[in-house]
Chains A and B, each alone.
Chain A
Amino acid sequence: MKILVVDDDYVSQTKLKALLSAFGDCDAVSDGEAALVEFEMAHNEAEPYDLVTVDINLPEMQGQEVVQRIRQWEDKNRTPSVKRTKVIMITMMDDKKNIFSSFEKGCEWYLVKPITPDNLATALVNIGLLEYDVSQS
């Protein structure tokens, strides 16, 4: 699984990388422009990201716009063989307005900081990137 972490905060980025590395190859960038570049390049190399986590509050381009641009690109360059990338929005603002607009922009899940292994695992299970094995627990 290929994962891209988009977060300008050092701690969050490191944490996400540390946690998500357990599930696949994890890249990280600190702003929206870089994220879109990475995203397109991965597609061009026929190795698209399965998961992108986007911090809602980024410098320059805001997290919601990043998601929107990803979705726009996907719509324009759609091929039957390519699956839609899953996006998790990461935020500290757990108000309804932000949650709703984030989903409207096209994210699959919404995580409120602090990020913990538990809530991240829950997110991955819910967006279908992680199989939850009942026998394990």
Chain B
Amino acid sequence: MDKRVELDWEQHRRRARFAHWAILAGLVGLVVLLTMTLLDGDIPSTAAISLVIGGALYTLTLIHKQNRLTGQLNDELSALGSETPQLRQTLAMSKKETGELKEALDNAKEAAKAQKRMIGYVSHEIRSPINAIVGYTEILAKTNLDEEASEHAEMILHESKILLTLVDDLLEQAKYESGHAAVVYAPMDFHAVFNNITRSVALKAKEKGLDFETAIAEGTPRYVVGDALRLRQILTNIIQNAIKFTDQGAVKVAVEPLEQRERQVTLRFSVEDTGVGMEKSQWEKIFDRFYQADAERRSLGAGLGMSIAKTLVEQLESEIHLTSEVGQGSKFWFDISLKITNRKPNLNQSYAALRAHADTARKTDTPIGRVLVADDSPDSQIITRHHLENAGYSVKTVADGQSAVAACQVERFNLVLMDMEMPKANGIEATRQIRALKPPQGSIPIIAMSAYASDDVKKACLDAGMNDAMSKPIRHRSLLRLVRLWTAPGDKGLPRKKTDAKGKGTLPPGATRPEILLPLDYKQAVGEFGGNRELVNTVIHEFVGRLEGQLASLKTAYRADDLETIWREAHKIRGGAINLVAYPLATALKHLEMIAKNGSEKEKLADAIGEAEKEMNKLISYYPLIQKGKGGAHEDLSSR
């Protein structure tokens, strides 16, 4: 708008300039002609005068025209000027209105949220008294009532159960719409989950005398990663709806793979019934809240089931389709994409995932794995613990490298998450120490966590014997990916039980192959005893001779649950073993000591005593070789 005003001004100026020149030229001409007329009063001057007058008149017209234009322009300008504030005002008003609209929208959204919260809250509050009513009515109905009272009690029971279903549905709806329940992906045995779901609703179909058919099409992968609980709720709601509207015939539930790429499958779930069906105009309405296609069938719920199913399917980024014909029946179907896994999830894991849903699963009774988190930052500790526990792992946290090493000696973990920058032995140092431990502990997978995620750092981690590295801050997804990868049984060389006594286990990358230790290093022992072979022989003889009795007292103490004696005895034997350079036995005893000291469960204790016994027996059978001077590398002995 400003630009246009400027252009008009430019035009006006040009015209004004032209007009000035014309007036000036006209005046000059007039003066010249008048002078000439005054001087000689010639006839032709009359013509000249008329010319001049004509010119002057033209000039005047021009001037007038110019003035008019200027006036118009001024008018326009002033009109514009008076309009601008108006425009501004309009603009401001529209802005204000937009703001108000936005605010109103926000308010509406907030109100909707609040309403949902309210629904959730009220439902929850209503639930407890209804439960009480149901409970007491049930008791009442069992007492000696006359026929009429009994009938009334049954009525109360019936109605309050309907009320309870309604409230439960409302609660569920509120929960899912508020987004409180996050989608939880976990490995599941799909076939088992599917059968479980269908079995749980089959009874209702049976009660109505319906055929209930389920089918898992061939080629449906068995182990997939998905949200089993959501799947259950979706299917249950749709199937219940089908049963509700079917009086005779059958309800068929089927699943088939539509499209399968390498690690991904799209499954089509369908629920088909031979029920009342509905007109096309009703198709969409069925997903509306509280919509009841048939008011007489109200008894089975609040009409929320399909709405919940729709919400849940949408959360899984899919949608429910349907086709239906009055009197013929309906068919609902939806497609869900799932990741395929070749890993059999253990049942506990699936339950852990279910419990994670219930928000109550801070600590599951049967964790899917035990993880040691070594990190000196309390924040990181909390975050890591939170993620892992929610995923079903049990977690122990320590704040420095030394404690990490100690924890590995005492307890068995499936994995160690090791921060790189820690007091008292950093991640590298602690890893080296852990790698120096006996196989089950020493070969535990270790993942480095570092704020400096350069390739150099990663290389340093791997060189120190770590298995993997991840960068901080910790991201939920990458954390769980790595943890799952390294705790996966078998796949990635987790030495869980793979390392047997014969040392067949795979060494973790970066770990140096340990020397095969003799039960006793005679040469070294002689050196340590100041070269006195005779004395060493006597001491070995004595030491080995006592082992049997000591093992017996270890076992006695074990049976008596006497941890103190076990520790003491093991410690004592270890002192001798160390001084005789019988390191395998010493290591086994150290393990036993740790377990006894920490009051671990009996199973572990028994294992540790068994280990010690094994090493003792090795030493005992090795002893005659020493005596005969055939103890492997003990030429000293034979030269004696």
Q: Which 8 A-B pairs have the closest CB atoms?
A: A11-B576, A9-B575, A114-B578, A113-B578, A11-B579, A116-B528, A15-B579, A114-B579
Interface residues in chain A, defined as those with a beta carbon under 8 Å from any beta carbon in chain B: 7-12, 14-15, 18-19, 22, 55, 57, 59, 92, 113-117
Residues of A within 8 A of B572 (CB): 8-9, 57
Whether A15 pairs with B529 at a CB distance below 8 angstroms is yes
Whether B575 pairs with A11 at a CB distance below 8 angstroms is yes
User: Which secondary structure dominates where chain B touches chain A?
Assistant: helix
Interface string of B549-583 (1 = CB under 8 A from A): 00000000000000000001001101111111100
Interface string of B511-547 (1 = CB under 8 A from A): 0000000000000000111101001001100110010
Residues of B within 8 A of A11 (CB): 539, 542-543, 575-577, 579-580
Report the Cα distance A136→B215, complex, angstroms: 90
Residues of B within 8 A of A8 (CB): 572
10 further A-B contacts with Cβ under 8 Å, apart from A55-B575, A92-B578, A117-B530, are A7-B575, A10-B576, A11-B539, A11-B575, A11-B579, A14-B539, A14-B542, A19-B530, A114-B578, A115-B579
Interface residues in chain B, defined as those with a beta carbon under 8 Å from any beta carbon in chain A: 527-530, 532, 535, 538-539, 542-543, 546, 568, 571-572, 574-581
Residues of A within 8 A of B535 (CB): 14, 18
Q: Which residue of A lies closest to B571 (CB)?
A: A57
Listed by A's residue number, 5 A-B pairs whose Cβ atoms lie within 8 Å are A11-B576, A19-B530, A57-B571, A113-B578, A114-B528
A92-B575 CB under 8 A given contacts A10-B542, A11-B580, A18-B535: yes
Whether A92 pairs with B539 at a CB distance below 8 angstroms is no
Residues of A within 8 A of B576 (CB): 9-12
Q: Which residue of A lies closest to B540 (CB)?
A: A11
Residues of B within 8 A of A12 (CB): 575-576, 579
Whether A18 pairs with B575 at a CB distance below 8 angstroms is no
Report the Cα distance A114→B532, complex, angstroms: 17
Report the Cα distance A115→B528, complex, angstroms: 7
Residues of B within 8 A of A92 (CB): 571, 574-575, 578
- Measured CB to CB, the closest approach of chain A to B520, in angstroms, equals 11
Report the Cα distance A12→B575, complex, angstroms: 7
Total A-B residue contacts, Cβ distance less than 8 Å: 61
- Measured CB to CB, the closest approach of chain B to A133, in angstroms, equals 18
Residues of A within 8 A of B579 (CB): 9, 11-12, 15, 113-115
- Measured CB to CB, the closest approach of chain B to A20, in angstroms, equals 10
Whether B581 pairs with A114 at a CB distance below 8 angstroms is yes
Q: Which residue of B lies closest to A115 (CB)?
A: B579
Q: Which of A10, A18, A57, A113 contacts B530 (CB 8 A)?
A: A18
Whether B578 pairs with A117 at a CB distance below 8 angstroms is no
Residues of B within 8 A of A59 (CB): 568
Report the Cα distance A70→B535, complex, angstroms: 31
Residues of B within 8 A of A15 (CB): 528-529, 539, 579
- Measured CB to CB, the closest approach of chain B to A107, in angstroms, equals 18
Whether A117 pairs with B527 at a CB distance below 8 angstroms is yes
Which of B527, B529, B543, B577 is the most central at the interface, judged by chain A CB atoms within 10 Å of its CB? B529
Report the Cα distance A57→B543, complex, angstroms: 19
Q: Which of B528, B542, B574 contacts A117 (CB 8 A)?
A: B528
- Measured CB to CB, the closest approach of chain A to B80, in angstroms, equals 87
- Measured CB to CB, the closest approach of chain B to A9, in angstroms, equals 4
Report the Cα distance A106→B445, complex, angstroms: 43
Report the Cα distance A27→B539, complex, angstroms: 17
Report the Cα distance A12→B577, complex, angstroms: 9
Residues of B within 8 A of A14 (CB): 535, 538-539, 542
Report the Cα distance A68→B213, complex, angstroms: 83
Residues of B within 8 A of A117 (CB): 527-528, 530
Report the Cα distance A10→B527, complex, angstroms: 18
- Measured CB to CB, the closest approach of chain A to B615, in angstroms, equals 16
Report the Cα distance A123→B406, complex, angstroms: 27
Residues of A within 8 A of B574 (CB): 92
Whether B539 pairs with A22 at a CB distance below 8 angstroms is no
- Measured CB to CB, the closest approach of chain B to A125, in angstroms, equals 17
Residues of A within 8 A of B539 (CB): 10-11, 14-15
Q: Which of B529, B571, B580 contacts A19 (CB 8 A)?
A: B529
Q: Which residue of A lies closest to B567 (CB)?
A: A57
- Measured CB to CB, the closest approach of chain B to A39, in angstroms, equals 22
- Measured CB to CB, the closest approach of chain A to B571, in angstroms, equals 6
- Measured CB to CB, the closest approach of chain A to B386, in angstroms, equals 31
Residues of B within 8 A of A10 (CB): 539, 542-543, 546, 576
Residues of B within 8 A of A114 (CB): 528, 578-579, 581
Residues of B within 8 A of A57 (CB): 568, 571-572, 575
Q: Which residue of A lies closest to B580 (CB)?
A: A11
- Measured CB to CB, the closest approach of chain B to A29, in angstroms, equals 16
- Measured CB to CB, the closest approach of chain A to B241, in angstroms, equals 66
Q: Which residue of A lies closest to B542 (CB)?
A: A10
Q: Which residue of B lies closest to A112 (CB)?
A: B578
Report the Cα distance A9→B578, complex, angstroms: 11
Report the Cα distance A11→B538, complex, angstroms: 10
Report the Cα distance A85→B535, complex, angstroms: 28
- Measured CB to CB, the closest approach of chain B to A117, in angstroms, equals 6
Residues of A within 8 A of B568 (CB): 57, 59
Report the Cα distance A74→B550, complex, angstroms: 38
Whether A22 pairs with B530 at a CB distance below 8 angstroms is yes
- Measured CB to CB, the closest approach of chain A to B437, in angstroms, equals 15
Residues of B within 8 A of A115 (CB): 528, 579
Residues of B within 8 A of A19 (CB): 529-530
Q: Which residue of A lies closest to B572 (CB)?
A: A9
Report the Cα distance A114→B572, complex, angstroms: 13
Report the Cα distance A57→B575, complex, angstroms: 10
Residues of B within 8 A of A7 (CB): 575
